[in-house]
């Protein structure tokens, strides 16, 4: 499983959350303790909001622990809201377009988990994407499809919670129809640059770990 964190609060340099803590995301990329595998070396990504409406994003195939550009970026960029993610691939290609976070206009999303039997329902999921969302898809992951389906529902008037619940309901229905026995596990966070909505769910009651820390100046959501 992947590992991630989300931050919202007073602007801070990203290194204070991503790099410096004892169980930082950089540490988890090589020594994750609450995951199926200790190493999350199939790429990483950062997404942050600054003075523009759309988020900035930096994604790379190299492991997070070995990328000097990541350390430099985190040391110099200060933001009030940002995502960071280290990837452990679950059956899809290791390429930059498959690294999180994913963005569409002002929306940003990242995911830790899997859609069981994704290959058997992928075509049906893709058929649900509106034309503009299908054209926006760059990678091959289940995470990106779920994100675009959620955004499509949000743009149709649903809240992020409603949209996510409805998408997961459709996914679980398709899995059942296809006779999929593997579980759906879904830890995720989505933001429009203002509020962050985070989710922890699984159909087998074994979702990946997710924690949150509320302080007077900030809220942090993290996998470990």
Instruction: Respond yes or no: is residue 213 known to be catalytic.
Output: no
Rounded Cα–Cα distance for residues 141 and 42 (Å): 13
Contact 223, 3 (CB under 8 A): yes
165: how many CB neighbours lie within 10 A of its CB? 16
3-class secondary structure for 63-109?
CHHHCHHHHHHHHHCEEEEEEEEECCCCCCCCCHHHCCCEEECCEEE
Cis before 101? omega within 30: yes
Of the listed 2, 19, 74, 99, which one is catalytic?
Answer: 2
Rounded Cα–Cα distance for residues 211 and 88 (Å): 19
Phi/psi class of residue 105: alpha, beta or left (left: φ > 0; alpha: ψ in -120 to 50)? Answer: left
Q: What is the set of active-site residues?
A: 2
């Amino acid at each position: 499983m992947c590992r991630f964190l989300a931050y919202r609060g007073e602007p801070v340099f990203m290194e204070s959350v991503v790099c410096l803590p004892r169980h930082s995301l950089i540490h988890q990329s090589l020594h994750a303790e609450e995951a199926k595998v200790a190493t999350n070396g199939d790429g990483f990504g950062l997404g942050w909001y600054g003075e523009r409406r759309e988020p900035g994003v930096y994604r790379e195939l190299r492991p997070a622990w070995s990328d000097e550009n990541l350390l430099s970026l985190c040391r110099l960029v200060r933001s009030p809201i940002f995502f960071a993610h280290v990837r452990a691939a679950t059956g899809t290609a290791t390429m930059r377009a498959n690294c999180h976070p994913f963005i569409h206009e002002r929306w940003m999303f990242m995911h830790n988990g899997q859609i069981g039997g994704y290959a058997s329902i992928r075509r049906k999921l893709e058929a649900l994407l509106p034309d503009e969302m299908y054209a926006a898809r760059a990678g091959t992951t289940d995470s990106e499809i779920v994100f675009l389906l959620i955004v499509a529902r949000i743009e149709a008037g649903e809240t992020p919670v409603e949209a996510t619940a409805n998408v997961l309901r459709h996914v679980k229905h398709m899995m059942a129809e296809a006779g999929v026995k593997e579980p759906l596990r879904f830890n995720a966070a989505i933001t429009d640059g203002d509020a962050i909505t985070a989710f922890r769910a699984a159909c087998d009651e074994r979702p990946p770990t997710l924690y949150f820390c509320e302080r007077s100046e900030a809220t942090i959501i993290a996998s470990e």
